[in-house]
Amino acid sequence: MFTNLCNDIFNDSIVKYHVCDDVDTEIQNPYPVKSIEYYLFLKNWIDAVQWHLEDIIRNPAINPAEALKLKRRIDKSNQERTDLVELIDSYFLDRYKDVETQTDATINTESPAWAIDRLSILALKIYHMRQEVDRKDASAEHTAQCSRKLTVLLEQQKDLSAAIDTLLDDIAGGRKYMKLYKQMKMYNDPSLNPVLYGKN
């Protein structure tokens, strides 16, 4: 199952990130460049860094100038994340390019890579919720509440993994087909954002 590979790589990335637990840690991607494993590891690493940037920027005592720098870094990270998701979808388009689509085939609500994007974020949620469950300074009520949430997240991971694998099986069997729609984010594009192109 493809999601077994995804979840193993995401967990590996998360553990490696938290060795230093620093948003400026240089990525150590162990997979061959341009392989699907390489892209999955990179995807989750970007998500892990952004997770912690989002934590840092919510510090109520943060210096406003530093917060602005972080906001721009998060915007850049979001664009990198989007570009990488589209690249992973390109992998699937190529992988299934020779499949003969059935006449009654349907399109899914989201592409495989955008579902895998959610799976990557879910792996991070599970890791950090497990940290909360294991916190020694937390109240029994906090631990119990986080334990219940962790159970739900693990069930969600199982369901989402099964749904992704089913989608890939359906695409491989011609029962579903996929299209790659570029996100066309407007706020990062100097020709599309009125603030950037100087509209009054």
Q: How do the domains of the chain map onto residue ranges?
A: 2-190
List pLDDT tens digits, range 27-42: 999 999 999 999 999 9
Report the alpha-carbon distance of residue 98 to residue 103 in Å, rounded.
Answer: 15
Q: Which residues have a Cβ under 8 Å from the Cβ of 87 and sit 6 or more positions away?
A: 39, 113
53-80 per-position pLDDT tens digit = 999 999 999 999 999 999 999 999 999 9
- Please give the pLDDT value at position 9: 98
> Encoding tokens for residue 190?
């100097």
159-195: pLDDT as tens digits = 999 999 999 999 999 999 998 877 766 676 777 777 7
Give the pLDDT confidence score for residue 199 in this predicted structure: 64
What tokens does 25 get? 């840690």
Angle at 82 between CA 77 and CA 84, to 5 degrees: 95
Are 163 and 170 spatial neighbours (Cβ–Cβ below 8 Å)? no
Residues 184 and 146 sit within 8 Å (Cβ to Cβ)? no
pLDDT of residue 121: 98
Other beta carbons within 10 Å of 48: 26
pTM over 0.85: yes
Q: According to the model, what pLDDT value does residue 48 have?
A: 98
Q: pLDDT for 89-104, tens place per residue?
A: 999 999 999 999 999 9
The token pair that represents 81 in the structure block:
């994340």
Tens of pLDDT, residue by residue over 103-162, are 999 999 999 999 999 999 999 999 999 999 999 999 999 999 999 999 999 999 999 999
